[in-house]
Amino acid sequence: MLLAHGDKDRRVPIAHATGMRDALKVAGHPPEWVSYPEEGHGFSKREDQLDFARRVDAFLAKHLQP
């Protein structure tokens, strides 16, 4: 699982995402995790959008078989 979250998200508090991340770790399924300090619910900064797109691309390349 790839989890990405904006630290300033007011709809879904970061505590929900970190709680899920931590529960997945405890269950033996650590996710790939990234948080963006200046983002809210959605990524508006171009550099964060590009970073997220690269991470999704790498995640899919790693986990999908042709």
Residue type, 17: A
> By the 8 A CB rule, do 43 and 50 touch?
no
Q: What is the pLDDT of residue 65?
A: 81
pTM value? 0.87
pLDDT digits (tens, 9 = 90+) for 28-60: 999 999 999 999 999 999 999 999 999 999 999
- What the block records as the tokens of 37 is 């300090």
State how far the Cα of 50 lies from the Cα of 44, in Å rounded to an integer.
10
pLDDT of 66 strictly over 90: no
DSSP state of 66: -
Distance CA(41)–CA(3), nearest Å, equals 13
Q: Where are the domains of the chain?
A: 2-63
Q: Where are the alpha helices (DSSP H) in the chain?
A: 14-26, 46-63
